[in-house]
Amino acid sequence: MTLHAITDWDDAYANAAHIADGDRWPDAWVEPAQRWRDACGTRARLDLPYGEAPRNRYDLFLPEGMPGGLVVFIHGGYWLALDKSYWSHLSRGPLARGFAVAMPSYTLCPENRIGGITREIGAAITAAAARIDGPIFITGHSAGGHLAARMASASSPLPSEVAARIAHTVPISALTDLRPLMRTGMNDTLHIDDGEAAAESPALLAPLSGARVTCWVGADERPEFRRQSALLANIWTGLGAAAALFEEPGRHHFNVIDGLEDPDHPLTRTLLGE
């Protein structure tokens, strides 16, 4: 990957403008997500509480038979937008392989800070883990990839007994260093400062002892997303984690998650350690 000096920070982190028909997302996810929730019927346990705030809810999708463990998918939207309802269909791949899938919402900025979102996701995973036994596999997309990586950081908000169950973490197109985002117009709402960037950037933190992490990103993504994924894999490898980087050919920021619908796709199989 060739690196270039950044002169337009907002453009560096813009996705839709650099993808053909990019403005059709996120609306393109609404119908398949609803259709999948309907198809799951009673195996979709919706709006389970994990806290007191209105958005402290998660959906839990159950496989046929006893779950072999728990997959957690954390949604993106730059910590500013969207909710769990857009992504239900991405539970399809892990469900077919016998795993339960939890998808939490969280309180968005500016009502919350990124550090507060990290704590909410920790609470959501803890609540889901109390319902489902076995290993835990954590993934998330974009800002959700950041939150997935935070769960595998040494300063993870997860209780030690829950953190010990994490078998694999796969941050997808993750934002692993928050400092560049302080230069974007989004920071008028995010309010990231030096202290929060230092505390909440996975690339500036140590991994959990024994962490296994695969940073997944589309080969056709914006250079900053590819660089940020490579950054985390590089740094955490040097800090003792079993870390890897995979750039999926032909994938951009919005379709890089599609593999989770397919139980045999490399993304699903990698997440589950197969």
Residue 247 has pLDDT above 80, yes or no: yes
Could you give the angle at the alpha carbon of 109 between the alpha carbons of 108 and 114, nearest 5°? 95
- Structure confidence at residue 3 (pLDDT): 74
φ/ψ bin of 221: left (φ > 0), alpha (ψ from -120 to 50), beta (otherwise):
beta
- Structure confidence at residue 225 (pLDDT): 97
Residue 254 has pLDDT above 90, yes or no: yes
Residue 2 has pLDDT above 90, yes or no: no
For 39, half-sphere exposure in the C-beta direction (CA atoms, 13 angstrom radius) is: 12
d(C-alpha 106, C-alpha 104), whole Å: 7
- What one-character DSSP code corresponds to residue 54? T
Q: Are 15 and 22 in contact (CB under 8 A)?
A: yes
Q: What's the burial of 38, exposed, middle or buried (CB within 10 Å: 0-12/13-18/19+)?
A: exposed
Nearest to 100 by CA among 62, 57, 44, 46: 62
Expressed in percent and rounded to 5, the helix, strand and coil fractions of the chain are: 40, 20, 40
Residue 1 has pLDDT above 70, yes or no: no
What average pLDDT score do residues 17-38 get?
Answer: 95
Look-up of token digits 């024994």: 210
- Structure confidence at residue 142 (pLDDT): 98
Neighbours of 250 (CB within 10 A): 9
Residues 6+ apart with CB under 8 A from 31: none
Which residues lie across from 169 on neighbouring strands?
Answer: 138, 213
Residue 269 has pLDDT above 70, yes or no: yes
Both structure tokens of 259: 């593999």
Residue 44 has pLDDT above 80, yes or no: yes
Task: Encode pLDDT of 212-241 as tens digits.
Answer: 999 999 999 999 999 999 999 999 999 999
Average pLDDT, the chain: 97
Which CATH superfamily hosts domain 44-271? Alpha/Beta hydrolase fold, catalytic domain (3.40.50.1820)
Nearest to 4 by CA among 207, 170, 227: 227
What average pLDDT score do residues 126-150 get?
Answer: 98
- Structure confidence at residue 63 (pLDDT): 97
DSSP assignment string, 93-132 = HHHHTT-EEEEE--PPTTTS-HHHHHHHHHHHHHHHHHHS
Strands 57-61 and 100-104: antiparallel
DSSP run (H or E) holding 140: strand 136-141
Strands 44-49 and 57-61: antiparallel
What average pLDDT score do residues 254-269 get?
Answer: 98
Task: Encode pLDDT of 85-113 as tens digits.
Answer: 999 999 999 999 999 999 999 999 999 99
